Structure 1
Amino acid sequence: MSTLFAFFHHLCAFTLVAAVAVEFTLIRQELTVSTARRLQVTDIVLGTAAAALFVVGLLRVLFFEKGYDYYLHCYAFLAKIALFVALGALSVIPTQEFLSWSASIKAGQAPVLDAERKRLVASIIHGELAAIVVILLCAAVMARGGWV
Structure 2
Amino acid sequence: MRVFQLATLFLVSTTPTAFSFVPQSARTLTDVSLSAKNNKLSQYDPFHLDHHETTLLEPNMKIGDSAETKALALGALAMIGTPASASAATAFTATAIPGALAAYGHYASLLGMLACVMIERLTIKPNMSEREEDFLAAADIAFGFWGLLITYTGYLRATAYEKGFDFYSHEPLFWLKICFLGIFGASSFFNTTIIVKRSIAKRNGEFEPMSEALAQRMIKICNAELFAIGIIPLTATFMARGVLYSDSIPWQAEAGLSAAVFVGLSYKYLNEAFTFED
Partners of 1:11 and 1:79 in 2: CA distance: 22
Given residue 48 of structure 1, which amino acid in structure 2 is its aligned partner? Answer: F
Partners of 1:37 and 1:5 in 2: CA distance: 32
Given residue 140 of structure 2, which amino acid in structure 1 is its aligned partner? Answer: D
Between Structure 1 and Structure 2, which shows a larger proportion of helix residues? 1
Partners of 1:42 and 1:108 in 2: CA distance: 22
Partners of 1:55 and 1:124 in 2: CA distance: 24
Q: Which of 192, 204, 223 is the aligned partner of 1:126?
A: 223
* Structure 1 length-normalised TM: 0.90
Partners of 1:128 and 1:54 in 2: CA distance: 16
Give the number of equivalent residue pairs.
Answer: 148
Contact (CA 8 Å) 2:103, 2:157: kept in 1 or not? yes
Deviation larger for 111-120 or 15-24:
111-120
Would you say 1:69 and 2:166 are equivalent positions?
Answer: yes
Partners of 1:135 and 1:147 in 2: CA distance: 16
* Structure 2 length-normalised TM: 0.50
Would you say 1:145 and 2:242 are equivalent positions?
Answer: yes
Partners of 1:8 and 1:103 in 2: CA distance: 32
Quote how far apart the aligned CAs of 1:30 are: 5.2
Q: Which residues of structure 2 form unaligned runs of 5+?
A: 1-97, 246-278
What is the identity percentage for the equivalent residue pairs of Structure 1 and Structure 2? 28
- Taking structure 1 as reference, are residues 28 and 146 closer, same or farther at Cα in structure 2, changes over 3 Å only? farther
Partners of 2:155 and 2:216 in 1: CA distance: 34
Deviation larger for 95-104 or 1-10:
95-104
Quote how far apart the aligned CAs of 1:62 are: 0.8
Would you say 1:46 and 2:143 are equivalent positions?
Answer: yes
Contact (CA 8 Å) 2:117, 2:226: kept in 1 or not? yes
Matched residue, 1:100: 197
1:21-60 Cα offsets, whole Å, 9 max, x none, are 1111111475111111011000000011111110110011
Partners of 2:117 and 2:227 in 1: CA distance: 11
Would you say 1:3 and 2:100 are equivalent positions?
Answer: yes
Partners of 1:18 and 1:75 in 2: CA distance: 29
Q: Secondary structure at the match of 2:128?
A: coil
Matched residue, 2:259: none
- Taking structure 1 as reference, are residues 116 and 64 closer, same or farther at Cα in structure 2, changes over 3 Å only? same
